[in-house]
Structure 1
Amino acid sequence: MPNRFEYTDEHGRRLRIAPVDLETPDEAPGLWFTTTDGWFNEVPVRVPLTMLEEAIAGQRDMARQAGGLRVELRGQDVTEHLADPATEQQRAETARPASGSLTGAERQFLTFALDLAADRMANRGDEFTDEDDAALARLRQLAKGAEA
């Protein structure tokens, strides 16, 4: 398997991304971004790895401006935050309750799972210990929103 990425459009034009073969020990590692016109003409651009995130962020920004990029994470559109880690971190902190607490959806799912676990424990009573019962009770408290 070749160590490269290639994309060819419907007209036979190609984008190839491949690692730079380092010729000297002090040479900075990088990637070649090479495009073709569908025939034999190639235009290579060397992108140092130190600039790779900036190059990717630029591509995402161009895709957003073209109206063609939409990225969802857990059902939320996070497209506008892709190139701005500080904004994404702030969104994550405000969207997620403090560590140790559950969202409403998580609480509902946990309650459902605990009901299933309780049924299984009742059907196989002698397989579970008092410690298991205590763990189930503690998880039920979390599901109800009670603090430890």
Structure 2
Amino acid sequence: MENLTADSVVASAPIKSPADKFFNFFRYNMNDIVKIFPAGFTGVELLEGEEGTVGSVKRWKYILGGIPLTATVKIVAIDEGARSITFAVLEGDLLLLYKSFQTTLTVSEGLAEWTFVFEKATLLTPPPELYIPLAITLSTLVDAFLLLN
């Protein structure tokens, strides 16, 4: 019997835009990612709930390592004081490799930090290393967008 526990990896990106503005973008304007980063994100659809609220569910279409993927993602927690949002993957390609997968974005002045918490489906499942450059590139592009807008 395999005893697999949750693991985590962290991606950090420096940001120049105000922390509140960056946090609020990911809370209320995430759909704009498709326009800002079309090479990484090709579609988004709100399936349930209201934009920027706990319980809202979206289906994302994205590209990782040249492969088109989908993920249905629910906002499970928002902490305005800590400027953090936690997303849980409900269904999609990620759950072929992981029993569970959550991402928490925490924003402070000068830094966006993405923490990926996952439980491997098997001992041979690799950690989600490809998501680190994706998160850093996304943060960098959103930061540049926010500085211009």
Bigger fraction of residues in strand: 2
Normalized per residue, which structure has more helix? 1
What is the TM-score normalised by the length of structure 1? Answer: 0.25
Higher Rg of the two aligned structures? 1
Q: TM-score, normalised on structure 2?
A: 0.25
Instruction: Say which structure, 1 or 2, has more relative contact order (CA 8 Å, 6+ apart).
Output: 2
